[in-house]
Each structure stands twice: as structure tokens, then as C-alpha cells.
């Protein structure tokens, strides 16, 4: 019987986490794209912004955790990006912006960086 080493399990766990994060970001991008097409005052826009907010709130909380093993500078940069996405999403939600392109582009960059 084969037994997995701790490092193999840990590597799988990190890969699984990256995959889940990538899937969430992909879904967020899909919703934001649908919202861009439907317009900033649409139901799709509300759904997209709320979903993006939940994703990035969870990511920022995780990045701020002392247990997060990413390098501190990378964590700080990702937190800054996440906070920008949350602020810009709020601007869209409040009708002061329609910057879906920026939200999508930054989300795609972060998602693609997980690979």
C-alpha cells in the first residue's frame, strides 16, 4: 500500500486551493462580463458585484491571516488589488462607475497568475 508523504499532501492541498480560487475567479469574470453586456443598472450587475465582493472579501481575509504562507510583499500587493476591486465594485453598484472592463481585466490577471 502506498502512503503519501506530508509534502505530497501539502502540495496537492495547495494545488486544490489554487484550482478552487481559479474557478471562483472564472465565475466572477463570467458574471462581470454578463453584467457589462446587460448594463450597470441590471440585475446581472448586482449579482456580479455581490459575487465578486464575497470572493474578494474571503481572499483578502485569507491573505491577511498570519497562517497564509505567501511572501509578505505578495500578500500585501494582492490585498491592495482586492481592496481596489471591492472599492471599484462599490462605485459600480452605486451607479458612479461602469468600469466592468477594469474589474474583468484585473480579475483575469490574478486568475491567470494562479496557474
| DSSP state, residue 65 | S
Please check whether residue 111 is in contact with residue 22, taking contact to mean a CB–CB distance below 8 angstroms. Answer: yes
In this prediction, what percent of the chain has a pLDDT beyond 90?
78
**Interhelix angle for 6-38 vs 43-64, to 10°?**
150
- Report CA dihedral (53, 56, 62, 65) to the nearest 10 degrees: -80
How big is the chain, counted in residues?
A: 115
Please check whether residue 49 is in contact with residue 89, taking contact to mean a CB–CB distance below 8 angstroms. Answer: yes
**pLDDT single digits (tens) 20-64:** 999 999 999 999 999 999 999 999 999 999 999 999 999 999 999
Domains and CATH numbers, the chain: 17-113 (1.20.120)
Amino acid at each position: 500500500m502506498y502512503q503519501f508523504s506530508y509534502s505530497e499532501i501539502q502540495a496537492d492541498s495547495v494545488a486544490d486551493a489554487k484550482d478552487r480560487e481559479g474557478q471562483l475567479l472564472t465565475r466572477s469574470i463570467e458574471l462581470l462580463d454578463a453584467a457589462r453586456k446587460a448594463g450597470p443598472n441590471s440585475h446581472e450587475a448586482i449579482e456580479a458585484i455581490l459575487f465578486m465582493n464575497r470572493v474578494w472579501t474571503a481572499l483578502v481575509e485569507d491573505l491577511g491571516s498570519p497562517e497564509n504562507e505567501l511572501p509578505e510583499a505578495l500578500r500585501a500587493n494582492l490585498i491592495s488589488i482586492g481592496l481596489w476591486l471591492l472599492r471599484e465594485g462599490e462605485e459600480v453598484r452605486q451607479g458612479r462607475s461602469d468600469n466592468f472592463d477594469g474589474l474583468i481585466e484585473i480579475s483575469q490577471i490574478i486568475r491567470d497568475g494562479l496557474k
